[in-house]
Structure 1
């Protein structure tokens, strides 16, 4: 039955039957929501053959479905290139949409979303008689078809980003591959300020893996060589440092549920909100923001981080070895 549903998707795509395609995709999801990895793998391979047959909006919905199969254990390899292509296209159109919007109106950028009324309304602002004439510097407004194209990119970027986020979380090798793709890096940078809802994407692309660093604990005069990987922010780093340095430096041990939340456990720890155990400083002595990420910390002969103060009150991790 699953193969038959996949066949139906191909027929709907070839017939340009968008409602039929979406209905079939929903039915397929309901049949595979709890699928085993082997089934998810087979479904994903079939799905990835559809991207070239679909317009961007339907491709974005297909990408979300593909991401769900990856979460069920499918090999993400066949999804990577279609998702990167679709994401870059949507982000590039989003950046152009934001520029065109500001050129014709002082209104705030519209909230991205798939609602037809919102999409059509935004396209009319870029192409119609409303707004501030002459700002585009083109001598005319955008043709409606082009305006609609940009608005659609703005509205579907979130779906493409969701699929990319799923893929990026699978392995360090995938993160390393995608972070070295110049088109993706440029597209993410061009929309970062205007699309705070996509914050997870640049953060994942900036994740350091197999990164060596030196941690100095100034109160005890001890230093430790470490390797970190899969750490999303410095608050997570602080928690994991406290965990691996337990028994090496005096500190209040983080609750096990905090450590689980900082690795691969439930995000809501049973012990309540996590309390940072260290005040982290960089190699120059400047405070390290817990809201930042390890990639933001300046290098000093590699990566040197200072843990200046131990607080005694209130995706992988780290490994450590003392420096003699």
Structure 2
């Protein structure tokens, strides 16, 4: 029986991910994708160490091209190709070197399938974020594989997360629940949408809200304009390029303080993950006394 070509499983996973994008059930894909992704990431983490032990060349760009894969394997194995920094590290058998390079080259395909699955539901995200092997494999490759940035971000997405929102200009406060929000650009838009009618603000254009939920990613009305400056409970600015999981806890809860915008901040894309549907609910308006207590806990306006 012929051996399977290297990377065949990754290419099949990409095809499965495409089917999920078109409405297929992601459940049968989850375990095979996690297994294949973990295997590729673990080899991807080992490859740079082996590479730097024998050569001072830059790491090769991950990719499936045969010439690149075979060339990198020959550098690691030594006798089959060009020498690296001879004597600085132990050469690998060619089969092992090829195994590491293939893992390095196919991790992106496995990641593409995984990011599709992770966008589909909060239950899937909760399941995968609790798998220690996956968390460890993703963490081990973060420094050398910036192209896989979606993985740690999606695993960190908050679902069913309580949020206290203080509107400093009015002193009003709100208890909310958020989920499936990919970044704080999106959070800012959705907060303005939900608080329309509760606090004085210029109403977000409907196409901005659609771009942040389930419409075209680029709103027809042009760039989205921030309606607030976002700060955390310590008084630090909340990075709009960051994600809700970055917002620190204050007395056990994430707190967002809304200030009047200090300058005109805009962005063009409503959400980072096209298939992930966000949720944000206003659970209750806090009574004045409770709002004052929360306001006393946060850092004063800068």
TM range (shorter): 0.7 to 0.9
Corresponding residue for residue 59 of structure 1: 9
Kept after mapping to 1: 8 A contact 2:53/2:88: no
Describe the superposition over 1:214-243 as per-residue Cα deviations: whole angstroms up to 9, x where unpaired: 000111000000000000001110111011
TM-aligned CA distance change 1:273 to 1:136, over 3 Å: farther
TM-score, length-scaled by structure 1: 0.73
- Aligned equivalents of 2:238 and 2:90: distance in 1? 49
- Aligned equivalents of 1:179 and 1:137: distance in 2? 41
- Aligned equivalents of 1:139 and 1:288: distance in 2? 44
Q: Decide which structure has greater helix share.
A: 1
Q: Give the alignment's Cα RMSD to 1 decimal.
A: 3.8
- Aligned equivalents of 2:250 and 2:87: distance in 1? 46
- Once the 2 structures are TM-superposed, how far is the Cα of residue 75 of structure 1 from its aligned partner? 1.2
Asked if 1:215 corresponds to 2:165, the answer is yes
- Aligned equivalents of 1:163 and 1:128: distance in 2? 34
- Once the 2 structures are TM-superposed, how far is the Cα of residue 134 of structure 1 from its aligned partner? 9.9
- Aligned equivalents of 2:85 and 2:128: distance in 1? 36
How many residues are matched?
A: 256
TM-aligned CA distance change 1:133 to 1:250, over 3 Å: same
TM-aligned CA distance change 1:81 to 1:138, over 3 Å: farther
- Once the 2 structures are TM-superposed, how far is the Cα of residue 78 of structure 1 from its aligned partner? 0.9
Corresponding residue for residue 147 of structure 1: 97
- Aligned equivalents of 2:105 and 2:34: distance in 1? 17
TM-aligned CA distance change 1:246 to 1:79, over 3 Å: same
TM-aligned CA distance change 1:270 to 1:204, over 3 Å: same
TM-aligned CA distance change 1:118 to 1:221, over 3 Å: same
TM-score, length-scaled by structure 2: 0.78
- Aligned equivalents of 1:67 and 1:253: distance in 2? 37
TM-aligned CA distance change 1:262 to 1:301, over 3 Å: same
Corresponding residue for residue 35 of structure 1: none
Structure 1 residue ranges, 4+ long, deviating more than 2 angstroms after superposition: 129-140, 320-324
Kept after mapping to 2: 8 A contact 1:91/1:188: yes
Kept after mapping to 1: 8 A contact 2:56/2:84: no
Kept after mapping to 1: 8 A contact 2:71/2:81: no
- Aligned equivalents of 1:68 and 1:197: distance in 2? 20
Structure 2 unaligned regions, length at least 5:
253-293
- Once the 2 structures are TM-superposed, how far is the Cα of residue 139 of structure 1 from its aligned partner? 6.3
Q: Give the 3-state SS of the residue equivalent to 2:229 in structure 1.
A: strand
Describe the superposition over 1:128-165 as per-residue Cα deviations: whole angstroms up to 9, x where unpaired: 15999898999630111101000000100011001101
Corresponding residue for residue 93 of structure 1: 43
Q: Give the 3-state SS of the residue equivalent to 2:95 in structure 1.
A: helix
TM-aligned CA distance change 1:255 to 1:117, over 3 Å: same
TM-aligned CA distance change 1:270 to 1:139, over 3 Å: closer
Kept after mapping to 2: 8 A contact 1:223/1:323: no
Structure 1 unaligned regions, length at least 5:
1-54, 309-319
Corresponding residue for residue 222 of structure 2: 272
Describe the superposition over 1:104-150 as per-residue Cα deviations: whole angstroms up to 9, x where unpaired: 22222111110000001111111115999898999630111101000
TM-aligned CA distance change 1:175 to 1:134, over 3 Å: same
Kept after mapping to 2: 8 A contact 1:226/1:321: no
- Aligned equivalents of 1:307 and 1:119: distance in 2? 58
- Once the 2 structures are TM-superposed, how far is the Cα of residue 173 of structure 1 from its aligned partner? 0.2
- Aligned equivalents of 2:140 and 2:219: distance in 1? 36
